[in-house]
Structure 1
Amino acid sequence: MAAADPNASLFVRPLGAVEKNPTALKLIVGGKLRELRVAAGLDPVDVDSKLGFSQSKTSRIELGRHGCKQVDALALLHLYGVDGEERVAEFLRLVDQSRRPDWWRSFSDVLSDFFTPLVALEGAAERIRTYEPFYVPGLLQTPDYTRAVIQAGPGHLLEHEVTRRVELRQERQRQLDQPDAPRLWAVIDESVLLRVVGGRDVMYAQLEHLLAMMERPRVTLQIAPLDVTAAVGVGTGVTYLRFALGDLKDAVYIEHLTDSTFTQKPQGVEQYRNMLDRLGACALTPAQSIAALRERMQTL
């Protein structure tokens, strides 16, 4: 048997859009360190003790909740028996990239903690699948429609807070303009078309925008008739993030009124993926959805 290449990459390549996403890189780096630790037969407590780390530091790094410093990464790699100049250099390069500031941190004044996981990772996804029962999905909203949705939400917001939230949503949408943008597949409940948000002019412009977005090769939109969503039993909006890399697990985000559920547990992710598959199979085709949008515009 040939000896393993000491300089072989520790990561799945190429990383693509993930390379520009510090949050995703933290998860990848942490996941790889967890794999190396398990292979070395060590517990997190053992590592903390051997390296003089504070309690639970190893676990926080592995979960992507704690940025990994280069000096810590070197110590961990040495403890786990990782050698090879190129392997170590590549790992440290990703560690360094993972410590860059995320673009969304400039919106921390209006970004809720429960919304952060989705905003942080959606740009790194290879595919975004979403179902919305009440509103047009955020990535497909016009600024005026977004403003109307935010103003109708819970609590009283000052005008500058509303504006900042609109800007945040527009910044999220710009990720769809990148060369390595995710593929977006959205299913919208039929009731969304009937719900006039922001008045007739705002709603008409929003439906026009949906038609324009459907001309993009990386955007797919389907309308789900009311009997379809009743039969599938969705009940709430859900966003599924599909990552192209084996180093990053797929994720599901479910938003509630004042909090959210974000999970990368395979069983839960699979259940929602199956639900979205059923919705897509039963909803109107994209061509039929275009016809439904145009028909609704004529009645506004």
Structure 2
Amino acid sequence: MTETRPPSVRRRRLAILLGNLREAAGISPDAAAEHLGCHRSKISRLENAKLGVSLSELRDLLALYGVEDQSYVESLVQLAREARHRGWTRHLGAMNPSFVDEIDHEQTASYIRTYQPHVIAGLFQTSDYARAIYKANPEALDAKRADELVELRMQRQEVLHRDEPPRVSLIVGETALRNSIGGREVMKGQLEHLLSLSERQPVEIQALPFATGAHAGLTGAFVIYTFPTPAYTDVVCIEHLTGTLHLEIEEEVGAYTLAYDSLRSSALPARASRDLIHQVLHDL
């Protein structure tokens, strides 16, 4: 039976890796199909993520492609297991697929680096703050839809409360701290929430003050996701009005990693960042 829903981001990643490994080994799709005892079209469907690979087929293909590093083999096997599921994101219905993939990254990453110059990052938003943002949407979301999106936002934040949460680094612009989204009381609650999170491990919050001047983040917000398995390279996500751009090419990811490291150097240290947030609270 042909699947009607898009493949998970993990299946797509595994499909790309299988294609790359086969080509690097100099093995044709016909030879791979003969090794598995299947039609050539199956290899094409595996490498296009239209078909999932069984664990036994995966091990056979990796042996054929000359992959001898057992830790890498096991990381691919684990990726194949995870590729069968979308987790709770399968309930998101008509959401833009690129947005669903970003949530998938968020829920599976071991390290999240996010730079937000204009708004508080989603993982750190209070429900009132998030609701104020959704109400400002020019598409004029009705109250029910806004509530659904707020609930989704709060559900996403549960990743911070897991037994083994990801390491999270946030660089937030002073504009975001002073932009009165939702009014005084909403911002008061939001800033107090940010201070509370800044005292938790493994969360690091740094503020980028107005006085910084020119810096490496002038082109806008972005998030870098790092994953626990070596089979999955870092991914940069950039949200835009109609979806999310995902960057996985090594040179592009490297440029954003360099920019983030520069921003960390430009931003205030954690203690001074908390002092600035306290000052903004006092100024409300």
TM tier relative to shorter chain: 0.7 to 0.9
Q: 1:41 aligns with which of 26, 42, 47?
A: 26
Aligned partner of 1:132: which letter?
Q
State the shift of 1:257 in Å: 1.9
Asked if 1:98 corresponds to 2:86, the answer is no
State the alpha-carbon separation in 1 of the partners of residues 55 and 229 from structure 2: 26
The correspondence of residues 1-300 of structure 1 with structure 2, limited to 5 A, is 23=8, 25-27=10-12, 29-44=14-29, 51-53=39-41, 56-61=44-49, 66-70=50-54, 73=57, 77=61, 80=64, 95-109=80-94, 111-228=95-212, 230-300=214-284
State the alpha-carbon separation in 1 of the partners of residues 65 and 176 from structure 2: 55
State the alpha-carbon separation in 2 of the partners of residues 275 and 138 from structure 1: 21
Q: Which runs of 5 or more residues in structure 1 are unaligned?
A: 1-21
Q: What secondary structure sits across from 1:148 in the alignment?
A: helix
State the alpha-carbon separation in 1 of the partners of residues 39 and 30 from structure 2: 10
State the shift of 1:199 in Å: 1.1
State the alpha-carbon separation in 1 of the partners of residues 27 and 238 from structure 2: 35
Name the residue aligned to 1:19.
none
Distance 1:163 1:45, change over 3 A: farther
Q: Which runs of 5 or more residues in structure 2 are unaligned?
A: 1-6
State the alpha-carbon separation in 1 of the partners of residues 180 and 40 from structure 2: 59
State the alpha-carbon separation in 2 of the partners of residues 48 and 229 from structure 1: 58
TM-score normalized with structure 2 length: 0.83
State the alpha-carbon separation in 1 of the partners of residues 60 and 19 from structure 2: 10
Distance 1:90 1:230, change over 3 A: closer
Q: What secondary structure sits across from 1:230 in the alignment?
A: coil
State the alpha-carbon separation in 2 of the partners of residues 165 and 26 from structure 1: 26
State the alpha-carbon separation in 1 of the partners of residues 98 and 78 from structure 2: 30
Distance 1:47 1:228, change over 3 A: farther
| RMSD of aligned Cα (Å) | 3.2
The percent of aligned pairs where both chains have the same amino acid is 29
Q: What secondary structure sits across from 2:268 in the alignment?
A: coil
State the shift of 1:72 in Å: 9.0
Distance 1:41 1:200, change over 3 A: same
TM-score normalized with structure 1 length: 0.79
Q: What secondary structure sits across from 2:165 in the alignment?
A: coil
Which string of whole-angstrom CA distances, capped at 9 and with x for unpartnered residues, describes residues 73-112 of structure 1? Answer: 369639937899x999997775344213421121224x32
State the alpha-carbon separation in 2 of the partners of residues 78 and 209 from structure 1: 48
Aligned partner of 1:238: which letter?
F
